[in-house]
Amino acid sequence: MQLHRRVLVTGGAGFLGSHLCDRLIEQGREVICLDNCFTGDKSNVYHLIAHPRFEFMRHDVTMPLYIEVDSIYNLACPASPIHYQHDPVQTLKTSVHGAINMLGLAKRTGARILQASTSEVYGDPEIHPQTEDYWGNVNPLGPRACYDEGKRCAETLCMDYHRQHKVAVKIARIFNTYGPRMHPADGRVVSNFIIQALRDRPITVYGDGSQTRSFCYVDDMVEAFLLLMDSPDGFIGPVNLGNPGEFTIRELAETVVELTGSASKIEHRPLPQDDPKQRQPDIALAGRELDWQPATSLREGLKPTIDYFEGLVREGVA
Ligand code: NAD
Ligand code: UDP
Ligand code: UDP
């Protein structure tokens, strides 16, 4: 029998989850895609619905789930500030109760579980680039805390279920990822800038645009998830996954304007509270343990992303 044949993907109708479902189906796995459709949409997996090895399940991870699976990718959680701040208590419940339920499921079934953590566990980092042994600089009381602290607690739960109950866990610290099927209204910088450029509207740069981010294309990230899940038992992480290429937000704005051939001009808006000034992953550990590094440059990845949003703008969806 093939290893990890029955795979549960929570948040499977979301941006990253739907691409992961695509790859798992390609690999011949049986995929259960679980989602409460808060920020994700069934349209992201419509093309898989009729597939004999694919099953969509509408369910909230804050509720217990009794099914039989061999591995679990726990991705369920709103990921953009607009969405996770919409109902902060539910965001915390999703990260914390969701992790408890999925770890409980892993414990009962003996499944491996990969937890989608985030670079936000580093908060506004004082060391640069961030390595996995850095404990972070998170404001536990601010508007981003429901997400950051929820994800930190989920990591703690993973480690404790591993130490106490021998659950096989893998912790992925995901840095900003972009690509087709990003939510058009999630307020993320890549989707905002592309849609603004395609409509020849002002590009809204928050602050002076000197803050930096590193952007990973979705196909590279999904590849890393698969490698991490199949890595030897002894490797738990946490492991940084992202593209170390670092860009200022102003550079991103200029690149998007150039690639879309847009007439848009840059306009500055106030910087949101607790907005990290810089973020860049150190991915040496992923290189060593998973033999992984991203293959797609920002320019290469922006092209299919722009094509995707062009389609949405044409259909009047974005
Ligand atoms: P997304 O919003 O597209 O996907 C999250 C999915 O989870 C959505 O389909 C949503 O409906 C679902 N969901 C939310 N709450 C749920 C609940 N209580 N029960 C069941 N389903 C629920 O976001 P994404 O970018 O695909 O993010 C996927 C995961 O990766 C998240 O855990 C996120 O925190 C993490 N992550 C993403 C990034 C990124 O740049 N995209 C960066 C760091 C971490
Ligand atoms: N759980 C679940 N599916 C399972 C097993 C457990 O959803 O197959 C949930 C259940 O809500 C439980 C939680 O996971 O409360 C944690 O499980 P654990 O076995 O650690 O705790 P206990 O059942 O002892 O409270
Ligand atoms: N940002 C921006 N204009 C926008 C949206 C975001 O200048 O229209 C900035 C934002 O202030 C942050 C960076 O882009 O400095 C990345 O924001 P995003 O919300 O995409 O991700 P995160 O802050 O979670 O890394």
Residue 309: which residues within 8 A CB-CB, separation 6 or more? 184, 191, 194, 195, 198, 318
pLDDT of 2 strictly over 70: no
> What gap in Å lies between CA 64 and CA 172, rounded to an integer?
23
Cα 117–Cα 56–Cα 4 angle in degrees, nearest 5: 60
Sign of CA dihedral 120, 121, 125, 127: negative
pLDDT in tens, 179-218: 999 999 989 999 999 999 999 999 999 999 999 999 999 9
Cα 13–Cα 14–Cα 19 angle in degrees, nearest 5: 85
DSSP for 146-214 reads HHHHHHHHHHHHHHHHHHHH---EEEEEE--EE-TT--TTS--HHHHHHHHHHTTPPEEEETTS--EEE
Q: Which of 84, 122, 147, 217 is catalytic?
A: 147
User: What class does CATH assign to 189-213+245-279+295-315?
Assistant: alpha beta
Q: Tell me how far CA of residue 299 lies from CA of 111, 188, 215, in angstroms.
A: 38, 17, 10
Residue type at position 232: P
Q: Following CA atoms 230, 235, 238, 244 in sequence, which dihedral angle do they give, to the nearest 10 degrees? A: -70
Exposed/middle/buried for 268, CB within 10 Å: 0-12, 13-18, 19+? middle
Q: How far is the CA of 93 from the centre of ligand 1 (A)?
A: 13
Q: How far is the CA of 256 from the centre of ligand 3 (A)?
A: 14
Q: Please give the span between the terminal C-alpha atoms of the chain, in angstroms, as a whole number.
A: 44
pLDDT of 4 strictly over 80: no
| pLDDT value at residue 316 | 84
Which residue has its alpha carbon closest to ligand 1 atom 22? 76
Ligand 1 atom showing the smallest separation from residue 117 Cα = 44
Residue 242 near ligand 1, beta carbon < 6 Å: no
Residue 11 near ligand 1, beta carbon < 6 Å: yes
Which residue has its alpha carbon closest to ligand 2 atom 3? 105
Q: At what angle do helices 298-315 and 189-198 cross, to 10 degrees?
A: 60
> What gap in Å lies between CA 299 and CA 245, rounded to an integer?
11
> What gap in Å lies between CA 184 and CA 312, rounded to an integer?
8
Q: Which residue has the tokens 């087709």?
A: 180
Residue 108 near ligand 2, beta carbon < 6 Å: yes
pLDDT of 8 strictly over 60: yes
β-bridge pairing 169-174 and 239-241: parallel
| Superfamily the domain 6-178+217-241 falls into | NAD(P)-binding Rossmann-like Domain (3.40.50.720)
| pLDDT value at residue 275 | 86
Same CATH fold assignment for domains 6-178+217-241 and 189-213+245-279+295-315: no
Mean model confidence pLDDT for the chain:
96
pLDDT in tens, 279-318: 899 999 999 999 999 999 999 999 999 999 999 999 988 8
Residue 3 near ligand 1, beta carbon < 6 Å: no
Catalytic residue list contains 84: no
Residue ranges covered by each domain of the chain: 6-178+217-241, 189-213+245-279+295-315
Phi/psi at 246 (nearest 5 deg)?
-110, 130
Average pLDDT over residues 54-80: 98
Q: How far is the CA of 203 from the centre of ligand 3 (A)?
A: 12
Helix (H, G, I), strand (E, B) or coil at 73: strand
Q: Which residue has the tokens 């506004």?
A: 124
Q: pTM of the full predicted structure?
A: 0.96
Residue 150 near ligand 1, beta carbon < 6 Å: no
Q: Counting ligands in written order, which one lies closest to the CA of residue 165? A: 2
Short-list 175, 184, 193, CA closest to 294: 175
Confidence band, pLDDT 50/70/90 cuts, at residue 1: very low
